[in-house]
Amino acid sequence: MRKSLTLFLSGLTLAVAASAAGAGERVLEFKLITKPIDLKVIEAANVEGQTVVSGKFFGVAVFSDGRIGVKEFVNTSDLLKGSGPFFGYSTYTFEEGSITARYAGSAKDGKSTGQYTILSGTGAYANATGTGTIESAPNPFKGVNLLNIKLVVKTPGS
Q: Which of 29, 30, 32, 28 is CA-nearest to residue 144?
A: 32
Instruction: Identify the burial level of 48 via C-beta atoms within 10 angstroms of its C-beta, where 0-12 means exposed, 13-18 middle and 19 or more buried.
Output: exposed
- pTM attached to this predicted model: 0.82
Q: Which of 59, 105, 58, 101 is CA-nearest to residue 79?
A: 105
Q: Is the pLDDT of residue 118 over 70?
A: yes
Least trusted range by pLDDT, from 4-13, 33-42, 104-113, 122-131: 4-13
pLDDT score, position 85: 98
The CATH number assigned to the domain holding 38 equals 2.40.350.10
Residue 30 burial (CB count, 10 A): 20
Amino acid in position 105: G
Strand partners, 48: none
Residue 20 burial (CB count, 10 A): 12
Domain that holds residue 141: 25-154
Tens digits of residue pLDDT in 12-71: 333 333 333 456 999 999 999 999 999 999 999 999 999 999 999 999 999 999 999 999
pLDDT score, position 134: 98
- How many domains, the chain? 1
Tens digits of residue pLDDT in 81-110: 999 999 999 999 999 999 999 999 999 998
Q: Residue 74: inside a domain, yes or no?
A: yes
Residue 149 CA to residue 141 CA, distance in Å, equals: 18
Strand partners, 98: 93
Kindly report the length of the chain.
158
pLDDT score, position 157: 66
DSSP 8-state assignment for residue 49: T
Residue 68 CA to residue 60 CA, distance in Å, equals: 7
Q: 3-state class of 83 per DSSP?
A: strand
130 in Cβ contact with 118 (< 8 Å)? yes
